[in-house]
Structure 1
Amino acid sequence: MSDPHISLGRVSTPLENTPAQAWDANAPIAAPLQLHSPTVLPQWVDYNGHMSESCFLLVFGDSSDVFFRFVGIDESYRDAGGHSLYTVQTQIHHIREASEGDPLRLTLQVLDVDDKRVHIFHSMFNATSGELLATGEQMLVHVDMAAGRAASMPAWLLGHMQAIHAAHAVLPRPAQAGAAIGIRRK
């Protein structure tokens, strides 16, 4: 079976070359967003018989890509202005296993936003049982690709991010958000 993430010998996302959605300022914003629902593919399963740790990141990355298209970022945005969102930090909490064929449901919550950064939080559930399988927290930075550094988002994009953040302000902060990694000593 071919992997939908490998195209012409390079890694891609399932939505590559899919245009961004048109933003509807009057549409309600789900809290949290539910934009991505893949199924665990055979090539995502490792020698232990469950979804490999790297594939959790792959699925969270795909969820981010769906989110980018939701807010108006696609290849034409990148090509026209030389800007994109880059992930600068990720933390994944593995809670339960996922097996081949399991349907997944991902949610995405915008925890914070400023003119250059977006702090997002993914939750991955088994779509059948509803069990939380993993969470992924990401800090995204809007980048001027030619300059190789952070750049302010255009007003329209910042407005979309702020609208989502405002809609998500009613949600509780996830327990795993901002958690430090380390060995707890007594």
Structure 2
Amino acid sequence: MERVVTPYEGSGHRPWDDAAEIPAPLRLHRTTVSPRWVDYNGHMSESCYLLVFGDNSDAFFRYLGIDEQYREGGRSLYTVETRLHHRREAAEGEPLALSLRVLDRDAKRVHVFHEMRHGDTDVLLAAAEQLLVHVDTSAGRSCELPAHLQHRLDALHRAHAVLPVPDLVGRPLGIRR
């Protein structure tokens, strides 16, 4: 059985530069709607939105310094919760441009927000709010991020704090009456 492979698999991570300006938000991933992602309604299937947001997360992990070498050390970031917001359809061949911002963080967790926009028109297609947890993969439980990653997340959080919190963040799910 084949495993899921992200577009960044095997690419390592970029070196961190404390003096470099941190984009707010990060724009690390672009892709095109694959024919494999299109469903019987003629647009991108709902599960494929999550696949693309996952690829955006992987680009973020590598920006942060989490790659195959880091994971070989028995640590990783896992997604513990995701909330997807679908706004517009995306058709086969259309360009997708993704962004990510760090909303909050503590010693073990990272709260991020993704946006997926049409690569040509900048129309918002979907958004995802995620809670990530740092995990000791051999113990199968959460653990603190190492100091160098906490330092980087602090810098990202500060850089992204200048952005307004998206209206979708923390919104309860349910039928409004």
Structure 1 position 34 matched with structure 2 position 27:
yes
Q: Which of residues 59, 64, 83 is equivalent to 1:66?
A: 59
Q: Aligned letter for 2:18? A: A
Partner-residue secondary structure (3-state), 1:139: strand
Map residues 48-127 of structure 1 onto 2, 5 A cutoff. 48-79=41-72, 81-127=73-119
* Stretches of 4+ aligned residues off by more than 3 angstroms: none
Q: CA deviation at 1:11?
A: 1.1
Q: Which of residues 131, 138, 163 is equivalent to 2:130?
A: 138
For residues 54-100 of structure 1, the C-alpha deviation after alignment (integer angstroms, 9 at most, x for no partner) is 00000000000000000000010010x20000000000000000001
Identical aligned residues as a percent: 60
Structure 1 residues not aligned, in runs of 5+: 1-7
For residues 107-148 of structure 1, the C-alpha deviation after alignment (integer angstroms, 9 at most, x for no partner) is 101000101000000000001111000000100000011111
Q: How many residues align?
A: 177
RMSD after superposition? 0.8
Q: TM-score, normalised by structure 1?
A: 0.93
Map residues 126-165 of structure 1 onto 2, 5 A cutoff. 126-165=118-157
Q: Aligned letter for 1:82? A: G
Structure 2 residues not aligned, in runs of 5+: none
Partner-residue secondary structure (3-state), 1:43: helix
Q: TM-score, normalised by structure 2?
A: 0.98
Question: How many angstroms apart in 2 are the aligned matches of 1:96 and 1:142?
Answer: 32
